[in-house]
Chain A
Amino acid sequence: MDLALSADEEELRRGARRVLGERSGAKQVRAAMAREDGHDAELWRLCARELGWAGLAIGEAQGGVGMGGVALAAVLEECGRALACVPLLPTVMAATLLDVAGTAAQRAEWLPALAEGAAIGAAAVADTGGAWDVAGVGVSARLENGAWVLSGRKAGVVAGHLADVLVVAARVGKGVDLFVVPGAAPGVERRVMPTLDATRRIAEVTLNQVRLPASARLGDAGEGEAGAALERALDIVGAALAAEQLGGAERCLELSVEYAKVRVQFGRAIGSFQAIKHRCADMLVAVEAARSAAYWAGWAASHAPAELLHAGPLAMATASETFFDVAAETIQVHGGIGFTWEHEAHLYFKRARASAALLGDASWQRERLARRLGLGGQ
């Protein structure tokens, strides 16, 4: 296992930092936040259509470049640092579900548009958002004259309001299946929900008797058997989210250290006080641990499916807690200014809080890990 970035991955990361440094600064992020859809369409066009980021981990046969999980992690880390208001993560989520659960024909039908950035994707798994758990799926699907009919409501769908392609988990009999639902399909109603994290909007997606062709059900296994695919996709997507969280945490640490060096109190830079020094040192240790976990998971996602069973939940738990803790400490290090609307600390704090719940919180991830290690649990 080599976790150092290859020359190509490093080139990609450097390029991503430059693009986002120039195009996703504080001004652009706040402008996107102020929009109803929270979307920086121009930045998305550049990243997805021109630069091809959405196709990073998608195979060449499906229109992507197949650079794998580490390259994806490198780019998402940069997106996280910059709080880029683009639907890269949800598009990766939808593409991963399609890739893991779809048949060859379904992958060929849907993945190229996502890979090329022609379409935005979103994943609607648990009805109330959060953990990708079969138990959380209530939307129902039934076969009616050869067509699937989906009914129910999904809340907390990241970029659900923007998505051209939604991958929706629905209950079929006693199990769960995944369906591809075009955003514009008749009966699909979407509403932007008020969110804590203004840099990443979520939507409520209501499915009113949405009729889909039989081919909309992903995979050709028996009905209601998508549970295993969902588990695997969660680990892959979790590695991607962990990298994004790592980027956010890293930026918070930088902000804290920079501020501690210049803010003078009692005649000295506050960074010279042990209370601040130790906080920053602890933040660095946490960020480095999260980095190891996130990149291990990113690597395992494309090279070692067996290791991903451990690396996936570990990365999600570690990165969620690290980002949240580091963002909270960043506000403390900054003191009064850290509480203001104008300072970016709160944007990272809110992003950290929302991201930690996006795919299931840290304790739920640890429980998954414990089960896989044979340490009991359900």
Chain B
Amino acid sequence: MKILVTVKRVPDPEQKVKFKGTSVDVSAANWVINAFDEYAIEAALRLNENAATGEKLGETIALSIGPKDVSQQLRSALAMGADRAILVGGADEELDSFAVARIVKAVVEREKPDLLLMGKLATDGEASQVPQLCAALLDWPQATFAAQITANAEGLEVKREVDTGIEVKQVKLPAVVSVDLRIISPTAVVNGKTPATHAYQEGPRYASLKGIMAAKKKEIKEISLADLGVKAAPVTKLVSAEPPAGRKAGVKVKDVAELVSKLKNEAKVL
């Protein structure tokens, strides 16, 4: 099947967040692919291959929106195995969830994929809005927070973990699916071609040397917002950002009696 996967770059979550005035300072950020998008790429590659024979079953296209530097993250997606990539030029500060969803919709209308596969959220903003907005704008069925995907004759069966257990959804294609962490467990994606006994390694695949070399020859098509006929026109405005207050030092108690007394009288939990 033809799968469009969205790839957002985010500041490395391992790095300490820096603030400049009332905004987050990303000038020295080390940019990486949003982890959930990396899981989505892995899920797309698993859907589109027979892991036993290496046969390819469809096309996987990576899409990102942002400044030209984002091509580095797209190159990583290509090195993992995506077939080609699209980079829509845009300024980070103009890209709120609604703008991104409208841009993705415009690309979907051009590419006509069978599946729009996305991470459930981006680890920078943690908004978790774009997949749902895309489904609404496209008027496509959606299955969010997918922990397992099984391709079948009617489309996709998606299992999602909810508080009360596992919810199973059947969606017709084309559809929007957003993936959760567990989609990268060894047998979470079933496409009917890869033998049922095949277990992938846990996690998104590493880029092999051959993959990195092959990625050099793959296309990253750059499109402008004007080409797509979309204006970013963000509807949300970042007012300010500040770090959470630091933790205060705890209180040392002399003995158990004092602890019990404090729990009873101050914390009132006993």
Contacts and interface: CB of A to CB of B under 8 A. Distances in A.
Interface of A: 7-8, 11-12, 14-15, 18-19, 22, 46, 50-53, 55-56, 65, 67
A8 B213 contact: yes
A52 B79 CA distance: 13
Interface of B: 72, 75-76, 79, 203, 206-210, 212-213, 215-216
15 contacts: A7-B72, A7-B75, A8-B212, A8-B213, A12-B207, A12-B209, A15-B207, A22-B203, A51-B206, A51-B209, A52-B209, A52-B210, A65-B210, A67-B209, A67-B213
A177 to B, nearest CB: 32
Contacts of A7: 72, 75
Q: Which 8 A-B pairs have the closest CB atoms?
A: A52-B209, A51-B208, A65-B209, A15-B207, A19-B206, A52-B208, A65-B213, A11-B212
A50 B79 contact: no
Contact of A56 (B79, B207, B209, B215): B209
Nearest to B204: A18
Contacts of A46: 206
Given A7-B75, A12-B209, A22-B203, 5 more contacts: A14-B76, A15-B207, A51-B206, A55-B209, A67-B213
B75 A11 contact: yes
Contacts of B206: 15, 18-19, 46, 50-51
A52 B210 CA distance: 7
B207 A11 contact: yes
A67 B213 CA distance: 9
A8 B208 CA distance: 11
Contacts of A51: 206-209
A193 B231 CA distance: 69
B203 A11 contact: no
B210 A11 contact: no
Nearest to A47: B206
Contact of A53 (B75, B79, B203, B209): B209
Contacts of A50: 206, 208
B157 to A, nearest CB: 30
A8 B79 CA distance: 10
Contacts of B212: 8, 11-12, 15
Most chain A CB inside 10 Å of its own CB: which residue of B76, B203, B207, B212: B212
- Chain A: interface secondary structure? helix
Contacts of B208: 50-52
Most chain B CB inside 10 Å of its own CB: which residue of A8, A53, A55: A8
Contacts of B207: 11-12, 15, 51
A67 B210 CA distance: 11
Contacts of B215: 11
A11 B76 contact: yes
Nearest to A75: B209
B204 to A, nearest CB: 10
Contacts of B209: 12, 51-53, 55-56, 65, 67
A7 B76 CA distance: 10
A51 B203 CA distance: 15
A46 B205 CA distance: 11
Contacts of B216: 8
B79 A11 contact: yes
A15 B216 CA distance: 16
Contacts of A18: 206
Most chain B CB inside 10 Å of its own CB: which residue of A15, A18, A55: A15
A321 B79 CA distance: 37
B35 to A, nearest CB: 11
Contacts of A52: 208-210
A65 B216 CA distance: 13
Nearest to B71: A7
A318 to B, nearest CB: 28
B118 to A, nearest CB: 22
Most chain A CB inside 10 Å of its own CB: which residue of B203, B209, B212, B215: B209
Nearest to A16: B206
B134 to A, nearest CB: 29
Contacts of B79: 11, 15
Nearest to A54: B209
Nearest to A6: B216
A11 B206 CA distance: 11
Contacts of B213: 8, 65, 67
A276 to B, nearest CB: 22
Most chain B CB inside 10 Å of its own CB: which residue of A22, A51, A65: A51
A50 B200 CA distance: 13
A258 to B, nearest CB: 13
A60 to B, nearest CB: 9
Nearest to A56: B209
Nearest to A9: B212
A11 B76 CA distance: 7
B203 to A, nearest CB: 7
Nearest to A64: B209
Contacts of A14: 76
A106 B119 CA distance: 49
A52 B75 CA distance: 18
Contacts of A53: 209
A7 B220 CA distance: 14
Contacts of B210: 52, 65
A296 B72 CA distance: 25
Nearest to B208: A51
A8 B72 CA distance: 10
Contacts of B76: 11, 14
Nearest to B213: A65
A93 B81 CA distance: 31
A55 B208 CA distance: 11
A14 B38 CA distance: 15
Contacts of B203: 22
B213 to A, nearest CB: 5
